Amino acid sequence: MTTDASPPLLRAEGLVKTHHGEGAPAHAVRGVDLDVRHGEFVAITGPSGAGKSTLLHLLGGLQRPDGGSLRLDGERTDGYSEARWAVERRRRIGIVFQFFNLVSNLTVADNVELPALLAGTPVRQARAERVRLLAELGLEGKERGMPGELSGGEQQRVALARALVNQPRLLLADEPAGSLDSKGTREVMRLLSRFHQRGQTIVLVTHDARLASAADRVISFYDGRIADDAALGAVPARRTGPAAVIDLNDPED
């Protein structure tokens, strides 16, 4: 059981990241201190170019900070190699992106099973988890289809299933509804809320205030820094037992 004495799932201290592109250096993250506790749903919101995506990439090890430190479950990540980060992303961190990043020449089923198989999950178990998640996300019957045959909202649900197939402690979502219509946005919002209700820790980057309102803590990011950090609600207790099925047609879900 998680107690107050346990370390936060994420602890960033003085994180700094500067991008060196063609023009002047972009000081995307200018010294960020941030704790994310188990079970929290944190939305990071702010204007375009504020550095939100860069921060999320640092939290998931997709980019390395130039300064500061990041701890995962109390463990410093400074010494992690690329290979170690890849393992952590398979086991402990699921990520969804704006443009889904599904493997276009793999079926929906294979896209979802792949991270489980890469993590060494036995084939039967990976399949069972894929079947459970796709049913839960309202994608039964789509398993044999290719990502390109699905709507944007469906593709994002496949990406969510893929991100969650290894039951990661942390879900990172970078503008997950950024390329979806309002129906797709509502779906993503409901799904993130539901997974959060079951104890999933989520860090969401979005410029969409409506999507951010699904979180229980909203961080306003501006010019590479945290400008405001507001807790909106209580962190739900981590639930155990079989997950409830989400009915995407049910307005209560």
Ligand X SMILES: Nc1ncnc2c1ncn2[C@@H]1O[C@H](COP(=O)(O)OP(=O)(O)OP(=O)(O)O)[C@@H](O)[C@H]1O
162: its two tokens: 């893929």
Question: In the bound complex, what is the minimum distance in angstroms from residue 240's beta carbon to ligand X?
Answer: 35
> Residues in the chain, how many?
253
Nearer to ligand X, 62 or 235 (CB): 62
Question: In the bound complex, what is the minimum distance in angstroms from residue 107's beta carbon to ligand X?
Answer: 30
Nearest Cα to Cα of residue 137 among 105, 112, 173, 103? 112
Nearer to ligand X, 32 or 214 (CB): 32
Query: Are 129 and 165 spatial neighbours (Cβ–Cβ below 8 Å)?
Result: yes
The CA distance from 162 to 164, in Å, is: 5
Nearer to ligand X, 195 or 221 (CB): 221
Nearer to ligand X, 48 or 249 (CB): 48
Question: In the bound complex, what is the minimum distance in angstroms from residue 221's beta carbon to ligand X?
Answer: 7
Residue 111 is inside which H or E element, if any?
Answer: helix 108-118
The CA distance from 213 to 251, in Å, is: 17
Question: In the bound complex, what is the minimum distance in angstroms from residue 223's beta carbon to ligand X?
Answer: 9
Nearer to ligand X, 134 or 205 (CB): 205
Nearer to ligand X, 62 or 131 (CB): 62
Question: In the bound complex, what is the minimum distance in angstroms from residue 14's beta carbon to ligand X?
Answer: 18
Question: In the bound complex, what is the minimum distance in angstroms from residue 26's beta carbon to ligand X?
Answer: 4
The CA distance from 207 to 185, in Å, is: 12
Nearer to ligand X, 26 or 235 (CB): 26
Question: In the bound complex, what is the minimum distance in angstroms from residue 34's beta carbon to ligand X?
Answer: 15
The CA distance from 136 to 60, in Å, is: 26
239's torsion region: left (phi>0), alpha (psi -120 to 50) or beta?
beta
Using CB under 6 A, list all residues that contact ligand X: 19, 21, 26, 28, 46, 48-54, 207
The CA distance from 204 to 192, in Å, is: 9
Secondary structure tally for the chain: helices H, strands E: 7, 10
| Sequence-distant (≥ 6) Cβ neighbours of residue 197 within 8 angstroms | 236, 239
